[in-house]
């Protein structure tokens, strides 16, 4: 596990040179990518969400493309489409930007649900279907999306099915005064707006790290703990629709990934607790009464955590 931990630490340190004050979201986002998942950054404008996504993509060496989501974007603008070739007299498939290693969907809530849904098959099955023909995507393939939760003009809420495809939804939050000053000092030192991050690994090496994470052992008690947490959200009085089985699986996969990044070959309950809110909160649909009362999904996950018995740590059984 030391190789995973060393690579992860180097990637985070490289990204920190341009992304200031986001240590925890960056670590969880990298963990989600190592676990094979997709990441949604959701917060107010100007906090560096796009920079964080772009810098992560550069550091892990994946082929990178970006789509700037707009209301007039069509599904074919994402997946690609068949185009008539006058020279051959036939229709040939022209790949869209989704044919890449890491796709940044910037301001994903600015495009229509029809176009958002073009990502569903790709995120779940790593393929796209156009006019009845299937086209496999790159391996690995990941989506990092950004979303602005405070604007309503010209935006569209992400469907629950698509939210469920994201392993985590992360908030960035405002930086501290010292971190904000460091951002300004860094801008002065660069003498340019653009910030560059060198690759730490290439696509093949990153895929190898993912395989190593998959080989990490997980105790049965940890598996059942993840299931119990997901099921507890379904029983809460303020929840109309609780976390799906995909949510409990995401809990397990991300906790395992963070354990490997910490250099451990076992998962602790604290690993699961750490990611419970970013993994489960966006999968909950609240009752009308809870929504009207201003209850947040994150507060419900935080309320559920103490109710679920914590299993003995893996350390105690060794």
pLDDT tens digit at each of 318 positions of the chain: 688 999 999 999 989 888 888 889 999 999 999 999 999 998 777 778 888 888 888 899 888 899 999 889 999 999 999 898 888 888 888 999 999 999 999 889 888 888 888 888 899 899 998 888 999 998 899 999 988 876 656 678 888 888 899 999 998 888 889 888 988 888 888 777 777 788 899 989 999 999 999 999 899 999 999 999 999 999 999 999 999 999 999 999 999 999 999 999 999 999 999 999 999 999 999 999 998 998 999 999 999 999 999 988 655 444
Class of 2-204 in CATH? alpha beta
Give ranges for CATH 1.10.8.80 in the chain. Answer: 217-317
Taking only the tens place, the pLDDT of each residue in 59-77 is 998 888 999 998 899 999 9
List, for residues 132-165, the tens digit of each pLDDT value.
Answer: 899 999 889 999 998 887 665 667 888 888 889 9
Question: What tokens appear for 129 in the block?
Answer: 């279907």
CATH of domain 217-317: 1.10.8.80
Can you give the pLDDT at residue 168? Answer: 96
Residue with tokens 């939760």: 149
pLDDT at 309: 93
Residue 289 contacts residue 268 (beta carbons within 8 Å): no
Kind of pairing between the strands at 239-241 and 285-286: antiparallel
Q: How many CB atoms lie within 10 A of CB 180?
A: 13
Per DSSP, helices labelled H in the chain are 2-16, 23-34, 49-59, 75-79, 113-116, 120-125, 160-163, 177-190, 203-214, 220-235, 245-261, 269-280, 288-292, 297-304
User: Please, where in the chain does CATH 3.40.50.300 lie?
Assistant: 2-204
Treating both helix axes as pointing N-terminal to C-terminal, what angle do 269-280 and 23-34 enclose, rounded to 10 degrees? Answer: 90
User: What is residue 316's predicted lDDT score, i.e. its pLDDT?
Assistant: 42
């Amino acid at each position: 596990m030391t190789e995973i931990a060393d690579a992860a630490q180097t990637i985070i340190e490289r990204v920190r040179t341009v992304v200031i004050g986001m240590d925890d979201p960056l670590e969880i986002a990298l963990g989600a990518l190592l676990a094979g998942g997709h990441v949604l950054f959701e917060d107010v404008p100007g906090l560096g969400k796009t920079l964080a996504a772009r810098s992560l993509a550069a550091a892990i060496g994946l082929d990178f493309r970006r789509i700037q989501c707009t209301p007039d974007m069509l599904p074919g603008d994402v997946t690609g489409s068949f185009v008539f070739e006058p020279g051959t007299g036939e229709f040939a498939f022209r790949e869209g930007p989704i044919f890449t290693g890491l796709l940044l969907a910037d301001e994903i809530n600015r495009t229509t649900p029809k176009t958002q849904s073009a990502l569903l098959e790709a995120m779940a099955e790593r393929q796209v279907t156009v006019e009845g023909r299937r086209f496999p995507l790159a391996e690995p393939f990941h989506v990092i999306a950004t979303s602005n939760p405070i604007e309503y003009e010209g935006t569209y809420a992400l469907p629950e099915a698509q939210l469920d495809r994201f392993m985590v939804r992360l908030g960035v939050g405002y930086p501290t005064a010292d971190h904000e000053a460091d951002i300004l000092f860094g801008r002065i030192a660069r003498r340019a707006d653009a910030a560059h991050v060198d690759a730490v690994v290439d696509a093949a090496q990153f895929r190898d790290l993912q395989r190593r994470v998959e080989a990490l052992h997980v105790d049965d008690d940890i598996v059942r703990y993840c299931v119990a947490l997901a099921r507890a959200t379904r029983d809460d009085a303020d929840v109309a629709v609780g976390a799906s089985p995909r949510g409990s699986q995401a809990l397990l996969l991300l906790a395992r990934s963070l354990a490997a990044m910490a250099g451990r070959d076992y998962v602790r309950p604290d690993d699961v607790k750490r990611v419970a809110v970013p993994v489960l909160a966006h999968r909950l649909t609240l009752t009308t009464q809870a929504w009207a009362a201003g209850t947040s999904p994150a507060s419900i996950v935080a309320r559920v955590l103490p109710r679920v018995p914590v299993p003995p740590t893996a350390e105690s059984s060794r």
